[in-house]
A and B are shown apart, each in its own frame.
Chain A
Amino acid sequence: MIKKTLLCVAMLAPSLIPQTADARRPARPPAERPAEFRNDVANYLKSKTLEFAANDRGLAAVGKSQNFVPLYNLLKDKGSFGGRPVKGKSDQEQAAVRDALTKTAAYYLAATGMTPSEVTRLIRNGYDPISAVERVIAGGSTLDDDLAVAETPIFGKLVDSVASGPDASERKLTFTVERNVKGRAGLTEQVSFAVTPSHPVGSLAKGTSCLLLLSDTLGRFRAASGKPKSSTSFQQQLEPYCQVGAVFQRVSSEASANISGTELIAAIDKMASAK
């Protein structure tokens, strides 16, 4: 799947690689890229142009195109990514990277079911989804951020975890639905989603309690835009918060702060009571 998305990756012919039986053989001369592949910002912006074109197709396919521009304008008006140490050697490059990140955030919101009216509703209830999505994209999001951005937050307990997918290339997790935080219709008993088999959430013990942050719009969007997706209809929109000993932690490759059970309940109650 990933190989289809790579830019400018040359294929190695088997005959090009020298044979040796020594696993600790001395290093060949350091590899150097061709000069045309060394401009990081230009490469990034070029890849984003291709990505955004695919995103437009995906949003159209799931009927969410109309939400992109209003969401982008909200992000732009807020000065999103303005305080970040974004890449770029000149003001012009940095402005282009910030704009690409802003569009990335707008596409992400639209692809996960967010609408301008939902943004208004969340703001009315004390959330700031526009600032939240910047932290989701760039790093440093909080529990409230994640709850604001997530399409379908679910609290439940892990009841099943099995290898699944083509060639057992993913791990399918099934949770009880003990709290449907945003009240999504049709989710009353269980919910399943899949992750890559090495993701730490796949190592959870059965019975572990988690706050899941899922989206099914994202799965349809990914399928329509040719992006990697898991085999389940619900995708993991954001990494979950699960019980680890005395606290809840985001089960992620990036360390996060501990959250007490009381804090988690308060955050869920706040979101569930938002009108």
Chain B
Amino acid sequence: MRQILQVAAAALLLTSGAASARDQQYIHKLTNPDQFYQISYNNPYECDSRTIQGAQIWNDTGSNFATFHGSLDGVYFFDGNIVKGRAGTQIAFEPVGNMVNGATAVAEHVPGSTAGTTTVDGWYIYNRTDADIRVNQDKWAAGRFYCDQTATIGNQLYFDRVIAHEMGHVVGLDDRSAGTDCLMYYALAEKAALKPACTAEAGLPIRLYGAYQP
């Protein structure tokens, strides 16, 4: 194995990094015209405003995909650019033992049912009718997330940026291996505040969902 790693190290400059084959392309397109986004009540109340801010960042990318939050009859939800309503994307906290990607995972995006396939920009993608976000609730309990806007930030992860990244997957975008300022950069650093989508990723929802038409 030592030899393998030495050979690998010798070829380092020729490698392109962890993410290359599908870098910053699409993983799916939401096609359900009845999509809405719902915050589960098992999410911490103190995180709600950051959850909303993180989800709504995709409203500013110029595409027809937009999020919105509100309440009707005491039910607390987001909805998408096309309203009506059925079981859609939910943002919910899950215990560390439920994170399919591993106990160190901060959050993960779980796609819903497949309606078919289509091609955007020559790429093969899955049509999805819904999608969920799971956030690691034990990391919240242990103080890993910065949610409370009256608190002082420590070595924590801004919760709105965590949600913005996962909502980017809900929109259909893959991770980026370059561009640390982009929301879809694959790794989230501590104290990384929420920023608008970078130029490169702002164009992708338009290519999936079309430009916003007032």
Which residues in A have some Cβ–Cβ distance to B below 8 Å? 1-3, 5-14, 16-20, 22-25, 27-34, 37-40, 43-44, 47-48, 51, 55, 81, 84-87, 97, 100-101, 104, 107-108, 111, 136-139, 141, 146, 155, 161, 163, 167-170, 178-179, 194-206, 208-209, 213, 218, 222, 227-230, 235-239, 242-246, 249-256, 261-262, 264-265, 268
Question: Contact at A254–B90, with CB atoms within 8 Å?
Answer: no
Question: Contact at B97–A155, with CB atoms within 8 Å?
Answer: no
A101 contacts which of B65, B138, B214 (Cβ < 8 Å)?
A: B138
Question: Contact at A32–B71, with CB atoms within 8 Å?
Answer: yes
Indicate whether A139 sits within 8 Å of B41 (C-beta atoms), given known contacts A104-B95, A229-B100.
Answer: no
Question: Contact at B142–A31, with CB atoms within 8 Å?
Answer: no
Complex: A179 Cα to B206 Cα, angstroms: 45
A1 contacts which of B6, B38, B110, B188 (Cβ < 8 Å)?
A: B110
Complex: A143 Cα to B86 Cα, angstroms: 43
Complex: A151 Cα to B70 Cα, angstroms: 44
> Can you report 30 residue pairs joining A to B where beta carbons are below 8 Å apart?
A6-B40, A6-B92, A9-B41, A12-B36, A14-B84, A14-B86, A17-B85, A27-B70, A33-B41, A47-B42, A47-B95, A85-B143, A86-B143, A87-B44, A87-B141, A137-B103, A137-B138, A161-B21, A197-B28, A197-B111, A199-B105, A203-B21, A236-B101, A239-B102, A243-B12, A252-B104, A252-B105, A253-B105, A253-B188, A268-B1
A203 contacts which of B23, B73, B102, B114 (Cβ < 8 Å)?
A: B23
Question: Contact at B186–A31, with CB atoms within 8 Å?
Answer: no
B101 contacts which of A5, A17, A161, A195 (Cβ < 8 Å)?
A: A195
List residues of B (138-157) whose CB comes within 8 Å of A's CBs: 138-144, 154, 157
Question: Contact at B138–A37, with CB atoms within 8 Å?
Answer: no
Kindly report which residue of chain A lies nearest to residue B2, judged by CB atoms.
Answer: A265
Complex: A25 Cα to B70 Cα, angstroms: 12
Residues of A within 8 A of B5 (CB): 209, 261-262, 264-265
Residues of B within 8 A of A81 (CB): 142
Residues of A within 8 A of B27 (CB): 197-198
Complex: A93 Cα to B8 Cα, angstroms: 50
Residues of B within 8 A of A141 (CB): 104
Contact pattern, B 178-200, Cβ under 8 Å of A = 1, otherwise 0: 00000000111110000000000
Question: Contact at A17–B108, with CB atoms within 8 Å?
Answer: no
- Min CB distance, A167 to chain B, in Å? 4
- Min CB distance, A53 to chain B, in Å? 12
Complex: A84 Cα to B156 Cα, angstroms: 12
Question: Contact at A12–B77, with CB atoms within 8 Å?
Answer: yes
Residues of B within 8 A of A37 (CB): 41, 45
Complex: A141 Cα to B15 Cα, angstroms: 27
List residues of B (45-74) whose CB comes within 8 Å of A's CBs: 45-46, 48, 59, 64-66, 68-74
Most buried by A among B13, B59, B72: B72
Residues of A within 8 A of B165 (CB): 253
Complex: A17 Cα to B177 Cα, angstroms: 38
Complex: A206 Cα to B15 Cα, angstroms: 11
